[in-house]
Amino acid sequence: MKIGEDRYSRQERFTPFGTGGQRKLGESHVLIIGAGALGTSIAETLARAGVGHLTIADRDYVEWSNLQRQQLFSEEDASLRLPKAVAAKQRLQQINSSIQIDSFVMDVKVEELESLINGVDLIMDGTDNFDTRLLMNDIAQKYNLPWIYGGCVGSYGITYTIIPGQTPCLNCLLGAVPLGGDTCDTAGIIPQAVQMVTSHQTIEAMKLLSGHTEALRDKLLTFDLWRNESMSMGVKHAKKEDCLSCGTHRTYPYLSASNLEKTDVLCGRDTVQIRPGKKQTLNLKETAERLSKLGEGLVESNPFLVSFTTGAQRLVVFADGRALIHGTKDISEARTIYHRYFG
C-alpha cells in the first residue's frame, strides 16, 4: 500500500458516505469567508476530510488572543502578526498536501465575492459580522449556491443551512429568529462553542457535497453549552415571497451600494468614519455599560455619543450606529476594530 493510500478509509467505511461520497468530496470546491475561530476549524475539518479545493479569504492578522480558539495558528504566527489567510494555508498544506488551497488576504465586499465564487460548490460562513453575511447571502441567492451560516459567542452557538429556492434565506430570518449582536470581544467565548458550531456546519457540508441532501438538517439549531440547553427550530414559515434577496421579485439589496457599510477616511484627522448599511438605533447607556465591563480602556459618554479609548485607538459611536475610529487611516483596520465591539 502506498503512503497515504488509506488516508480517508475510516470515513469511507461509514456506510452512508462510502467511497462514492469521498470521490464527490474530492471533486468539490468550498469557499470559506473568514479565517478566525469558525473559519480555521471549518478549514481544518474539510481539509482533513479531503475536500479537493479550499479557498480562504480573510482581512485580519493573527493576534495572541486568537490562540485560545483559532486552532490553525501558532505563537510564531502571532509574534509575526502573519495574515490569517496566509498562516491558515501554510498549516493546512502541512495537514493535507494533496488538495488545492488558495488563500486571499482581503476585506471581502461585493467585488471580492464576485471574483471568488467561480467554480465554487458551497460557501461556508466563518465571519464575525452580519454585513458580510448579508453580502454572502445575496451572492448565494444570485448564483444559486448553498451556504452554511454559523455564529457563536460566550457559550452560545447557532447554525443553519441555506439552500436557495428551498429554505428561507438569512434576510428572511432577520427579525424572525434571535440571531444575536454580541461579539467575542465584548462577551467572551469558550472554544467548545466554536467546535460545536463547526461540527454541525461541516457535517452539513459533507452531506451536501457528497450528494446526500436527504440527510440535511432542515432546522435552525441553537445551543448554550454552559446552560446545557439546545433547540432545533423549524423556520420554513419564515420564507417570504416578497423577500428582496430570495423572493419572487428579488433585487439582491445587500449587493447594492446603498445598503453597504460605508467607510471614509477623514481628511487630516487620522480617523476613519464607519456608517452601517442599514439604519439602526443604539442604546448609548447600555453600550457604555457593556464597554465598561470589558475593563480594556477608558469609557466616556454623554447623551449623544460613547467614547471608548483602548491602546492607540479611540472609538466614538453615535446613536445611529455611526462610528469614528481615531488613530488609524487604514479602513480595513478600522472595520476590524468596529466589528470587534459592535458585531
Mean pLDDT of 116-144: 94
Count, residues in the chain: 343
Going by C-alpha positions, the residue among 97, 92, 55, 47 that lies closest to residue 72 is 92
CB-hemisphere CA count at 13 Å for 218? 11
State which H helix or E strand residue 132 sits in.
Answer: helix 130-142
Looking at the predicted structure, is the pLDDT value of residue 279 above 70?
Answer: no
- Closest by CA position to 201, among listed 140, 158, 238, 166: 158
Q: According to DSSP H, which parts of 31-121 are helical?
A: 37-49, 75-80, 84-95, 110-116
pTM for the whole structure: 0.81
pLDDT in tens, 151-203: 999 999 999 999 999 999 999 998 666 565 667 767 788 999 999 999 999 99
What interhelical angle do 37-49 and 191-209 show, nearest 10?
Answer: 40
Residue 176's pLDDT is what? 62
Nearest to 139 by CA among 162, 165, 113, 120: 113
Residues 247, 239: Cα–Cα separation, whole Å: 8
Which one is predicted more confidently, 137 or 338? 137
Give the single-character DSSP code of 174: B
pLDDT of residue 1: 45
| 311 class by beta-carbon count within 10 Å (0-12 exposed, 13-18 middle, 19+ buried) | exposed
pLDDT band for 89, please (50, 70, 90 cuts): very high
Q: pLDDT (tens digit, 9 = 90+) per residue, 44-56? A: 999 999 999 999 9
Q: Decide: 235 and 168 in contact? Cβ < 8 Å.
A: yes
Mean pLDDT score, 334-343: 84
List domains and CATH numbers for the chain: 9-255 (3.40.50.720), 261-342 (3.30.310.10)
What single DSSP character describes residue 66? G
Give the residue-averaged pLDDT of 333-340. 86
Residue 76, pLDDT > 50, answer yes
83-92, 150-159, 231-240, 320-329: least confident range: 320-329
Which residues 6+ apart lie within 8 Å of 2 measured at CB? none
What average pLDDT does the chain have? 90
Mean pLDDT of 31-43: 96
Model confidence at 278: pLDDT above 80: no
Query: What's the N-to-C CA distance of the chain in angstroms?
Result: 50
pLDDT band at 336 (very low <50, low <70, confident <90, very high): confident
Per cent of the chain over pLDDT 70 is 93
The kind and range of the H/E element at 263 are strand 262-266
What gap in Å lies between CA 96 and CA 75, rounded to an integer? 21
User: Looking at the predicted structure, is the pLDDT value of residue 96 above 70?
Assistant: yes
Mean pLDDT of 131-149: 95
The CA distance from 41 to 194, in Å, is 8
